[in-house]
Structure 1
Amino acid sequence: MKILFGREHFSAGLPWQGLAPLLPEHEIIACSQADIARHISDADIVVPFSARVDRSLIEQGHFGLIQQFGVGLDTVDIEAATEAGVWVARLPAGNTRNADSVAELAIMFMLMLSRRLPELRTAWQEGRWAEPPGFALTDKTACILGLGDIGMALARRLQAFGMKLLAVRNNPEREVLGIPSLKQVFGPKELITALHEADYTIACIRYTPETHHLLNAEAFEAMKPGSFFINVARGGLVDHEALFAALQSGHLAGAGLDVFWEEPVALTHQLFQQNVVVTPHIAGLTDAFYHQGALVFAKNIGRYVRGELPLYTANQIAHCRSSRR
């Protein structure tokens, strides 16, 4: 089968061809996002990565599986895929090292903002020593939005920093084991209450139409004055104009962002003139996720080829349209 990847490589130095030993009977085709339409008619399996797979592309092809190499499916028209008889599947964050990688980046943001890295660079260049003072994570309170694989991976790590933890999740009554520093779990309707006491708010929640702009003006106003906001989930969760207003007014002390309202984002936006630390959507792009994710990816491709139901699906179809399985 021909497996089409909608990006030239996973990341610099980590090519998709590196997956070939795990997929010995398949042909790997890698192209840019702009060229995916040119190759779509030959593909049996499509791996969007960051490419958009819309209704037009789905109707153009004969492929029966859209298998994401990652968690996010916001660039895939799942409704159109379901109507066409195409499976849509993702990789889980928990057993692929994706959650670990994303949690590490969230902590990097927290440390960079707490220790005032931009100001430290200026002090170094100007020859000023022993300033500015920073904030320790110890004894501070973090509110984790979402206690899925990523949220739990982050909670375990923040516990080691001696932090007090709060969380917001869909099922707050569900027991959380192994995190004694998790003091309280709130439901979605208690979001505003949960935000009041946190020195750090970290978005790890899945993006859906229901969570669009979950972090809006009301939410930012509810956050503790002088606190920090981190987003390692999806840009659509945040009303970026409301975030800008909260930073510009000084209500929030800073933000760490790996994801944005559009990608690539215009670097001239006024938000980036505030105390904001940014990375270009790379939270999961690590060697650990590439190698461990590849194993789960290859197993799911194998299930599909054998005519078995793929795992980690985002839709349900009665019959797969592909005749090449």
Structure 2
Amino acid sequence: MTSPANGRTVSMITSPLEAEHAERIASAFADRVDVTYRPDLMPALRYRGDHGDPAWRRTPEQEREWHELLRRAEILLDFPQNESIPLLELAPRLRWVQTTSAGVGPLVQRLGLQDSDLIVTTASGIHAQPLAEFVFAALLFHGKELGRLQADQRARQWNRFSGSELAGQTMAIIGPGRIGQQIGRIARAFHMRVVAMGRDNDPARARTLGMDRLFTRGELLTMLGEADCLVVCAPLTPETDGLLGAGEFAALKPGVVFINIGRGAIVDEDALLARLRRGDIAFAALDVFREEPLPPSSPLWDMPNVLINPHSASTVDTENGKIVDLFLRNLEHYLNGELALLSPQLDKRRMY
């Protein structure tokens, strides 16, 4: 699908993508854009929505060809993985990267791009619905005791019991962005009270975000004390790194449910483990971890009150279609010189 540049805009797909979506990109602006799509130089798709096996490597010959293609590219769909050479040296013509993830701030920092003129647009909001669905799958799994039902069914036992309902509970959200707001909307449909930690506690802003109340960072312990369930969906930034430690977990009421779909480094895992072992945190659903893949030696694997998701809560069969829709909208703005309309743009200093 690669064409000579001939003075035209060159866009390159740098992570695995289903062929039908690559065809959509290639045909959308065929009179103005040459699209490089070389699945033979990328890891094979393991499932729909896969963005690449991080353990996969090119041969030296493939690497030379890959780098030659990068040198021609003005636009990248996703950051290329496992590159030892700085990106702007590999791709000196590069002006814009559309990523396939929302939380790319730390990656941009690691790549040394925070002070560059490179435009980075993220997939912020694309994953809000599947992540919100995972949150409520976890809450209902715990509250309706679906694990008990499965165990009793396998044992052919008829044991009546009393579950819990979400209505009337308080959900606390750390990270009231696009994902947090979608979680809040669904929580309100379950007749839950929804509070969040934000930059300020302005009631008008709380209403705009769909929250019953906002708490500042200084009021975090107070918010945690009100929570029946705590959901972390914030990006990893200097402000959120290590945000939840022993003191914060101690502020939670007994029997709370904890869900992390943000980033693992936001949480002190040792402090979380201690509270889970004591039963102070009744149940935890974890999609992200400080070290990924989660090591087999981690005690989290064996805990009966923990649900482990291998950082896949956001990955659904419709994901790449939505990402390509976003990319094509942004590509039209780019081609028309409307760079200010590229959205959502990463603030490289704030890292989100």
Q: Which residue among 312, 315, 318 is the counterpart of 2:344?
A: 312
1:22 partnered with 2:25: yes
Whether the 8 Å contact between 1:164 and 1:183 is mirrored in structure 2 is yes
| Deviation at residue 312 of structure 1 after TM alignment | 2.5
- Cα pair distance change 1:16/1:187, threshold 3 Å: farther
Q: Which residue among 115, 124, 127 is the counterpart of 2:153?
A: 124
Q: Which residue among 48, 63, 69 is the counterpart of 1:42?
A: 69
Q: For 1:16-62, what per-residue CA distance to the aligned partner results, in whole angstroms no more than 9, with x for missing partners? A: 54242234231223423434793244222334479466763443333
Task: Work out which of the two has the higher radius of gyration on C-alpha atoms and give 1 or 2.
Answer: 2
- Cα pair distance change 1:91/1:273, threshold 3 Å: same
Q: For 1:124-169, what per-residue CA distance to the aligned partner results, in whole angstroms no more than 9, with x for missing partners? A: 2222223454221122221111221111111111111121222211
Residue in structure 1 matched with residue 118 of structure 2 by the alignment: 86
Tell me the TM-score normalized by structure 1.
Answer: 0.83
The 1-side partners of 2:84 and 2:254 are apart by 42
Whether the 8 Å contact between 1:53 and 1:75 is mirrored in structure 2 is no
Residue in structure 2 matched with residue 4 of structure 1 by the alignment: 13
- Cα pair distance change 1:131/1:216, threshold 3 Å: farther
Provide the secondary structure at the position in 2 that maps to 1:109: helix
Q: Which residue among 324, 327, 351 is the counterpart of 1:297?
A: 327
- The one-letter code of the counterpart of 2:224 is L
Residue in structure 2 matched with residue 193 of structure 1 by the alignment: 222
- Cα pair distance change 1:153/1:189, threshold 3 Å: same
- Cα pair distance change 1:4/1:290, threshold 3 Å: closer
| Deviation at residue 215 of structure 1 after TM alignment | 1.4
Q: For 1:261-316, what per-residue CA distance to the aligned partner results, in whole angstroms no more than 9, with x for missing partners? A: 12222243102222111212222222444323321112223434555424322257
1:219 partnered with 2:248: yes
Residue in structure 2 matched with residue 70 of structure 1 by the alignment: 101
- Cα pair distance change 1:262/1:23, threshold 3 Å: farther
Which is bigger in relative contact order (C-alpha 8 A, separation at least 6)?
1
Provide the secondary structure at the position in 1 that maps to 2:257: strand
1:171 partnered with 2:227: no
Q: Which residue among 172, 178, 187 is the counterpart of 1:149?
A: 178
The 1-side partners of 2:151 and 2:79 are apart by 37
Unaligned runs of 5+ in 2: 1-9, 44-53
Residue in structure 1 matched with residue 7 of structure 2 by the alignment: none
Bigger mean CA deviation after superposition, 71-80 or 211-220: 71-80
Aligned positions, number: 307
Whether the 8 Å contact between 2:21 and 2:324 is mirrored in structure 1 is no
- The one-letter code of the counterpart of 1:77 is Q
